[in-house]
Amino acid sequence: MRPAGIIELGVKPIHKKAFYGVKDSIVTNEDKNNVYSQPVLRAKVKTRNWTKAGLLRSPVFVEFAV
């Protein structure tokens, strides 16, 4: 599994609070620049398209997918 992009916009405070409630239980490793977690969270995002590198172009968080 590889990352599809980085979500920077559209995350509402209620969703941030929900994420912070579970983040400690899913973190597997940390280094100087990154925090690694288990791939258990899924999210619905709006995006414009895919980049040539295979990443999402301008992803915006919509909601967590349950």
Residue 30 carries which side chain, given as an amino acid letter?
E
Whether the full predicted model's pTM is greater than 0.85, yes or no, is: no
* 4-43 pLDDT, tens digit each: 888 888 899 999 999 999 999 999 999 999 999 998 999 9
pLDDT in tens, 55-65: 999 999 999 98
Give the residue from 52, 50, 51, 56 showing the smallest Cα distance to 9: 56
Q: Is 5 helix (H, G, I), strand (E, B) or coil?
A: coil
Distances (CA, A) of 42 to 1, 3, 39, 62: 13, 12, 8, 11
Sequence ranges of the domains in the chain = 13-64
CB atoms closer than 10 angstroms to residue 59? 19
